[in-house]
């Protein structure tokens, strides 16, 4: 694994995310822009009970990000949601994404009975399944595509 440092963000360094933002948009993704917009507006700062946001850094460069929220699409209390996961191209398949998601799973186990996420990316689908997420039956109206059942909090 790349010499990566995973840090829980109590305050997000928006300037440190600019390379992630640029690269994610070049790839056609909008979720890092949403992360920044929602953080700046206060709509989602990953700071409520059972929530957290992590960055992955190699040296002084932020190379990945991953967040955990209470699932805003579910009325049930015991569901967490993995959100805004992104790792820069040059750091994929080096353990960075796995380290971020494992940290989110570890934290989610303290608060939730299950962890959901949504992706339409085939590579992400394989990645999440390799970490233990189960693909849900296809449903264009579903708020999640994958679920991991956790031990009861």
Domain boundary assignment for the chain = 5-149
Spatial distance between the Cα atoms of 116 and 114, rounded to a whole number of angstroms: 7
pLDDT at 153 over 60: no
Q: What would the pLDDT profile of 103-152 be if each residue is shown by its tens digit?
A: 999 999 999 999 999 998 899 999 999 999 999 998 888 899 999 999 75
Cα-based distances in Å from 16 to 55, 56, 133: 10, 11, 29
Q: Which of 101, 25, 94, 13 is nearest to 61 (CA)?
A: 13
The CATH code for residues 5-149 is 3.40.630.30
Name the region of 46 (left: φ>0; alpha: ψ -120 to 50; beta: rest): left
pTM: 0.92
Share the mean pLDDT of the chain: 92
pLDDT category, 1, cuts 50, 70, 90?
low
């Amino acid at each position: 694994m790349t010499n990566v440092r995973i840090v829980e963000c109590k305050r997000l360094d928006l300037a440190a995310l600019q390379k992630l933002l640029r690269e994610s948009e070049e790839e056609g993704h909008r979720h890092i822009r949403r992360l920044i917009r929602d953080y700046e507006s206060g709509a989602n700062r990953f700071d409520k009970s059972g929530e957290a946001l992590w960055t992955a850094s190699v040296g002084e460069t932020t190379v990945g990000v991953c967040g955990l929220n209470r699932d805003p699409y579910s009325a049930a209390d015991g569901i967490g949601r993995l959100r805004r996961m992104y790792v820069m191209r040059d750091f994929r398949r080096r353990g960075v994404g796995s380290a971020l998601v494992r940290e989110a799973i570890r934290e989610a186990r303290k608060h939730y009975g299950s962890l959901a996420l949504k992706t339409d990316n085939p590579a992400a689908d394989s990645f999440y399944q390799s970490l233990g997420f189960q693909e849900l039956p296809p449903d264009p109206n579903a708020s999640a595509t994958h679920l991991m059942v956790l031990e009861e909090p």
